[in-house]
Structure 1
Amino acid sequence: MMQSPVLTARDFFDVVIVPDVEDAKANPHNVRLVIHALISLHQMNDRYFNEQPVQYPTKRAYYDALAADCEARYAACSVLERVRDLATNAKHCAPVSAPQADFGTSAMDASSPLTLTAIAKSEDGTSQELLPIILESFTFWKSEVDALVEKK
């Protein structure tokens, strides 16, 4: 018997995303843990979409429907598009399909220079803390998964 099977979007959320986000919250300075959380949160798009009871006649029809579904979701929660860009950067090393971002740690609050946090630095030199992005995306997906479970 398989332990902790990941068969549904809810399973993926509970088994992968919740621990990844908890690890990132507990260690916001750890770039590895923060990147893991970003990547797993981005993967929820596919997991959630695959829960829909629709059959597609071709792979192209499936991918077109997935892309349209993702775009609608990005419109509903703009932070998901940022998660996509960051996850794509982390997985593919500055791809053409996403704005360039470098990952590292920094003291974002000048009043507490010893408190480091994981950041993404954009091509224009601006920096962005990653934990707030993770937490907003997590809240969105928790709501979506809870609603999906209620439908069944």
Structure 2
Amino acid sequence: MQNPITTPRGFFDGVVAPDVADLRENVQDVRLAFHAAISIHQLPEWIFKAGLTQHVELSQYRDSLYALRPDLKIIRDIASNAKHFPPERATPLNIGTSAGPALSFPDTPFFEPTQKQVLAKDEQGGSQWVIPVILAAFDFWSKEMTQYLS
């Protein structure tokens, strides 16, 4: 086997970063949003099981991350909705596409006021544009991963 993924950094570089890059290229693709959310949500487990945190339980580590970055809870909910139907420990969401505010990517024409992209709605009618949440979580982990160089 060549280039196995065996470290949190390897998982980030080999799975998370490509998932997010693919989503940036196709912001209306629900499948890609699910993939990005699932891989981002798995990072704490990789870090915890590699012994790179002082927490004694994975749930404590995740809770500390949620306190620091509430958007990671949204990532958890999206990932749980992708993996489980209906999700048992997360907010049930309807996830699809809708016309939303244009995202500022280099290839987005400046004259487009809206852009079709992934939207998550909960049962109470609240909604969340998924792409900005995933990108914010990715930016957070990009900075965090600088301490895990190998």
Name the CA shift for 1:107/1:73 in 2 (closer, same or farther; >3 Å): same
1:4, 1:15 within 8 Å by CA — same for their partners in 2? no
Which residue number corresponds to residue 18 of structure 2?
19
Which residue number corresponds to residue 7 of structure 1?
6
Which residue number corresponds to residue 30 of structure 1?
29
Scaled by the length of structure 1, the TM-score of the pair is 0.84
Scaled by the length of structure 2, the TM-score of the pair is 0.85
Q: Which amino acid aligns with 1:43?
A: Q
CA apart distance, 1:15: 0.4
The CA distance in 2 between the partners of 1:123 and 1:94, in whole Å, is 12
Which residue number corresponds to residue 81 of structure 2?
89
The CA distance in 1 between the partners of 2:47 and 2:75, in whole Å, is 16
| Count of paired positions | 140
| CA radius of gyration, larger in | 1
CA apart distance, 1:96: 2.8
Which residue number corresponds to residue 144 of structure 1?
144
The CA distance in 2 between the partners of 1:127 and 1:71, in whole Å, is 23
CA apart distance, 1:46: 0.4
Matches within 5 A, 1:91-130: 91-109=83-101, 112=113, 115-130=115-130
Spell out, residue by residue over 1:70-118, the C-alpha distance to the aligned partner (whole angstroms, 9 max, x if none). 11111111111111111111110222311110110000239745x2101
Gaps of at least 5 residues in structure 2 are 103-111
CA apart distance, 1:38: 0.5
1:20, 1:33 within 8 Å by CA — same for their partners in 2? yes
The CA distance in 1 between the partners of 2:8 and 2:117, in whole Å, is 29
Name the CA shift for 1:53/1:119 in 2 (closer, same or farther; >3 Å): closer
Q: Which amino acid aligns with 2:94?
A: D
1:94, 1:101 within 8 Å by CA — same for their partners in 2? no
CA apart distance, 1:145: 1.4
1:102, 1:121 within 8 Å by CA — same for their partners in 2? yes
SS in 2 for 1:5: coil
Percent identical: 39
The CA distance in 2 between the partners of 1:73 and 1:127, in whole Å, is 22
Name the CA shift for 1:53/1:144 in 2 (closer, same or farther; >3 Å): closer
Q: Which amino acid aligns with 1:135?
A: L
CA apart distance, 1:53: 6.0
**Structure 1 residue 79 corresponds to structure 2 residue 78:** no
